[in-house]
Amino acid sequence: MSPLPLENWLADFVVHLKSERALSPHTVEAYQRDVESFLQTVQQKTAIEAEDVVTWIGGGKKKGYAETSLARALVAVKVFFRFLYREKYVQKDIGTFLDTPKLWQTLPAVLSYVEVEKLLAAPDSSPLGIRDKAILELLYATGCRVSELCNLTMYDVDDEQIKVFGKGSKERIVPIGSKALEAIDHYLNTVRAKWGSEDQKALFLSKKGTPITRNEVWQRVKFYARKAGITKSISPHTMRHSFASHLLDRGADLRIIQEMLGHAHISSTDRYTHLTSSHIQEAFRAAHPRWEST
């Protein structure tokens, strides 16, 4: 038997993502990249089985790939095989044999309360530090995505809440605490007024007076994590995970957290219950006098 026409299948899949599912260019590119990576491992095969996907994911884990990246890659491959089965390119949808919630649930990295305090205290009193303090406080106070933060305007923040435009340009209102508001007010009054022009509406600016970019925020979060002595590999999204996990720890309703995060489905928010359970287990093992590890 001849090898499978993988390149043709992938090309059709990309067209499907763009035309029928109307996904964003960024998502299409990520799915295409993930599927291409998987297909490179099965190029000479005449049939593909679920075990091939498991082996591929396992290889990524051994190489040290981030769990979030592996989770996204697995979703991309599952969507790919669902498409192939629907179009009758293959006889079975092997994605149904990959039980994502049970076998591949990845728990997002979160910061402890102490680590959050260290991170928020890391910026200095320079203009850049004042801006970055406001950014860090806002990320943790609202759980917004870094792209949402970069798109905020001065008119999206008031004394009690912020207006966020999330995925699909969906608007949501998120409460904001006094600490974050104080940091934002300090930044607006002492720094932004000097950096921004009258026609520049973006809330957070670079020193050049242009809207801050996602990459700049990512770099600053990494910088302050190192400065605070945090050894975990974190990103702006870690602040979002920490926001949700800490709310859940304090008894917030899962549906309320879903609303504040802008999740379309409760299943996306539900993983934080697994995370909290994991933290409870760790605390029990560390503190209980009768616990014995085996």
Q: How confident is the model at residue 283 (pLDDT cuts 50, 70, 90)?
A: very low
Comma-separated ranges of CATH 1.10.150.130 domains in the chain: 6-97
Give the integer Cα–Cα distance in Å for 258 and 207: 35
Q: Where in the chain is the domain with CATH 1.10.443.10?
A: 113-285
Note the CATH number of domain 113-285: 1.10.443.10
pLDDT at 268 over 70: no
Q: How confident is the model at residue 19 (pLDDT cuts 50, 70, 90)?
A: confident
Q: What is the mean pLDDT of residues 265-275?
A: 60
Give the model's confidence band at 106: pLDDT under 50 very low, under 70 low, under 90 confident, else very high: very low
Q: Report helix, strand or coil for 99.
A: coil
pLDDT at 278: 47
Report the C-alpha gap between 133 and 239 in whole angstroms.
13
Q: Which CATH class is domain 6-97?
A: mainly alpha
In this prediction the pTM is: 0.60
240 is annotated as an active-site residue? yes
186 annotated active-site: no
163 is catalytic: no
CA of 258: how far to CAs of 108, 156, 177, in Å? Answer: 16, 20, 18
Three-state DSSP at 1 gives coil
pLDDT of residue 205: 95
Asked if the model's pLDDT at residue 149 lies above 90, the reply is yes
pLDDT at 35 over 80: yes
Answer yes or no: is pLDDT of 73 > 90.
no
Distance of alpha carbon 130 from alpha carbon 133, whole angstroms = 5
Active-site residue, 272 included:
yes
Task: Name the active-site residue from 172, 227, 237, 274.
Answer: 237
Rounded to an integer, the average pLDDT of 275-281 is 49
Per-residue pLDDT band at 180 (split at 50, 70, 90)? very high
- Ranking 117-121, 154-158, 261-265 by mean pLDDT, the lowest is 261-265
175 Cβ contact list (under 8 Å, min separation 6): 142, 160, 161, 260
255 is catalytic: no
Q: What is the DSSP string of 217-230?
A: HHHHHHHHHHHTT-
Does residue 187 contact residue 132 with C-beta atoms inside 8 Å?
A: no
Q: What is the DSSP letter of 188?
A: I
Identified catalytic residue from 78, 131, 133, 145: 145
If you average pLDDT over every residue of the chain, what do you get?
82
- Cα angle value 141/75/58 (rounded, 5°): 100
All residues at 6 or more sequence positions from 207 whose CB lies less than 8 Å from its CB, including other chains: 127, 128, 195
In which residue are the tokens 């932004």 written? 192
Residue 145 bears catalytic tag: yes
